[in-house]
Amino acid sequence: MKDDRMLTFSWMKDGWDATLDNLHYILPAVLAFEVLAVMPALLLWKYFDNRWYALPWEILMGAPLAVGMNLFIVNLVRNGRPDYGDMFRGFTIFPQAVAVSFLYGLIVTAGIIMLVLPGVVWGLAYVFAQYSVIDKKTGIKGSFVRSSMITYGFKERLLPIAMIWVLLEVFTPGIVKAEGSLLHMSLILDLKPWVITAFVLKTLIFMPWLDMIMAKAYLSLLKHYERQPAVPVQKAE
């Protein structure tokens, strides 16, 4: 693969076109994920009036569903047709799906707390761990190793995609807000019309677009990696 400056733009454009072409397949999957992974966690948070009570559901149910959602999007791009069963295949590798998701979040958070830059570098290096664990059944350690190999030399091409995700998270108003201390965070809903509109556009259009971009990037870099001789594992650069 030629690593030129148009690579990221190509992923974004192809991802946008694929999102629009497959939106009728993607929307049911997104809505199912919201109902199964997000809504129960919010209900637990609201019922107990404490954010921590929602974490077990997010980790034990949300993580496998998120990994399965990755597989759903990847196979939609790969095969051109949906298999909604992919959404639940994270539960077939339940320990690995939970562990990889938890460790990835821990690695990125630790890096950001340290100096920010390590968090960015590690986040980009291991961004496809949650893809490899379900797509290639690489196990916990193997998923991080494989991701670092796939992204070797391409982290700066993935950085703009990560920045778009950060901008969406920071500047798009959410209908759910936390109030209180770290040990006792209460759930507050902001249901202003413009907030709801922004949330719907983000959830149903822009986040699926980013998911499609990442699937395009994953398959592109995976194909490139599998055609190359072995390269050294690089944990940071």
Run of H or E residues at 217: helix 207-226
Residue 93 structural domain: 7-172+205-226
Non-local CB neighbours of 72 within 8 Å, separated by 6+ positions: 29, 82, 83, 84, 86, 87
Residues of the chain with pLDDT under 70: 1-5, 112, 115-116, 229-237
**Phi and psi angles of residue 4, each rounded to the nearest 5 degrees, phi first:** -115, 175
Quick check: is 177 in a domain?
no
Quick check: is 232 in a domain?
no
Domain count, the chain: 1
Quick check: is 88 in a domain?
yes
Quick check: is 69 in a domain?
yes
Detail the DSSP E strand segments found in the chain: 176-180, 185-189
How many DSSP H helices and E strands does the chain contain?
Answer: 12, 2
Is pTM beyond 0.85? Reply is: yes
CA 137 to chain centre: 18
Q: What is the dihedral of CA 110, 112, 115, 121, to 10 degrees?
A: 100
Quick check: is 151 in a domain?
yes
- The string of pLDDT tens digits covering residues 26-72 is 999 999 999 999 999 999 999 999 989 999 999 999 999 999 999 99
